[in-house]
């Protein structure tokens, strides 16, 4: 088959399972390193004509990452488009399996290992209330019904905006209802889509421990899911100075 992926997570899933199957990927598809495929633009602005010129048997997309207008244009050009929806861990495990089956591939061992790693987590006790920014200028955070929010919940973190009507609401830093007055005891700062660092993010939340986490471990649903419980658990535990379900800690970090 000739496959084009418009979703970085699923690019990695296909490439690791069947090297050479992908003929086109987005500019944001960074894993696995050294991927040999034509770059066809971004997830939000793919070059539809370039995709069609690759004569794909299947285009892989996601309802959140890709625009309906682009997917409609691909279908109008004769491409078969498989659209995924991932809003929690269960879908994060089942949708890659569906994509791989659509590519004519059997369920890979890495997916079974990823499922086992998450199933082995103990049930968390009291969850730590946290804000989870995903962008700055303006501030945007995880809201309801998100894959990353579900992973954090399984690791002992309670998203204080989990009941917000929007999935990625814009919340001011200060003022009524602002991030600093949300009752959080932790701020979780991933390095994607916004690249939060020790010098860019924690200083906005004085007095709160800050967990700087691997954005791929938090938001990608692919082979990284296998190590994600340990990777995220270690970062969260380090920030709080205690052990969380996913892994150990290395001492507290306070901005």
pLDDT in tens, 174-200: 988 899 999 999 999 999 999 999 999
Does residue 135 have a pLDDT over 70? yes
pLDDT band per the 50, 70, 90 thresholds, residue 124: confident
Pairing status of strand 140-141 against strand 133-135: antiparallel
The pLDDT assigned to 246 comes to 58
Give the per-residue pLDDT at 62: 97
Binned at pLDDT 50, 70 and 90, residue 125 comes out as confident
How confident is the model at residue 248, as a pLDDT? 46
What are the beta bridge partners of residue 41? Answer: 46
For 86: left if phi > 0, alpha if psi spans -120 to 50, otherwise beta; the answer is: beta
Whole-angstrom Cα distance, residue 11 to residue 26?
9
Spatial distance between the Cα atoms of 58 and 7, rounded to a whole number of angstroms: 13
Average pLDDT over residues 58-84: 97
On the question of pLDDT at 140 being above 80, the answer is yes
User: To the nearest whole percent, how much of the chain has pLDDT over 90?
Assistant: 91
Checking if the pLDDT of 243 tops 90, the result is no
* pLDDT band per the 50, 70, 90 thresholds, residue 99: very high
On average, the pLDDT of the chain sits at 93
Phi and psi at residue 59, to the nearest 5°: -115, 125
Residue 241: pLDDT band (50, 70, 90) is confident
- Tell me the mean pLDDT in the region 113-122: 96
Ordered by where they begin, the domains of the chain are 3-107 (3.40.50.1980), 122-240 (3.40.50.1980)
- pLDDT above 70 covers a percentage of the chain that reads 95
241 Ramachandran zone, left/alpha/beta (phi>0; psi -120 to 50): left
pLDDT at 87 over 60: yes
Task: Count the neighbouring beta carbons within 10 Å of the beta carbon of residue 194.
Answer: 18
Residue 45 has pLDDT above 60, yes or no: yes
């Amino acid at each position: 088959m000739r496959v084009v992926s418009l979703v970085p997570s699923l690019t990695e899933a296909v490439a690791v399972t069947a090297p050479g199957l992908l003929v086109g990927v987005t500019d944001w598809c960074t894993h696995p390193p050294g991927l040999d495929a034509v770059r066809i633009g971004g997830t939000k602005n793919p070059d539809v004509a370039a995709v069609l010129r690759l004569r794909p048997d299947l285009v892989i997309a996601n309802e959140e990452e890709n625009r309906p207008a682009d997917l409609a244009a691909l279908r109008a050009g004769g491409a078969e488009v498989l659209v995924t929806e991932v809003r929690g861990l269960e879908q994060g495990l089942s949708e890659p399996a569906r994509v791989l089956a659509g590519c004519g591939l059997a369920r890979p061992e890495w997916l079974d290992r990823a499922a086992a790693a998450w199933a082995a987590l103990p049930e968390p006790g009291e969850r730590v209330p946290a804000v989870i920014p995903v962008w700055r200028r303006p501030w945007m955070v995880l809201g309801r019904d998100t894959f990353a929010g579900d992973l954090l919940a399984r690791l002992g973190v309670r998203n204080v905006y989990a009941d917000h009507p929007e999935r990625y609401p814009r919340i001011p830093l200060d003022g009524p209802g602002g991030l600093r007055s949300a009752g959080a005891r932790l701020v979780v700062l991933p390095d994607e889509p916004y690249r939060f660092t020790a010098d860019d993010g924690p200083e906005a939340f004085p007095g709160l421990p800050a967990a700087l986490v691997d954005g791929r471990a938090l938001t990608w649903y692919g082979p990284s899911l296998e190590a994600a419980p340990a990777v995220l658990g270690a970062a969260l535990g380090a920030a709080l100075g205690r052990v969380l379900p996913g892994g150990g800690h290395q001492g507290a970090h306070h901005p």
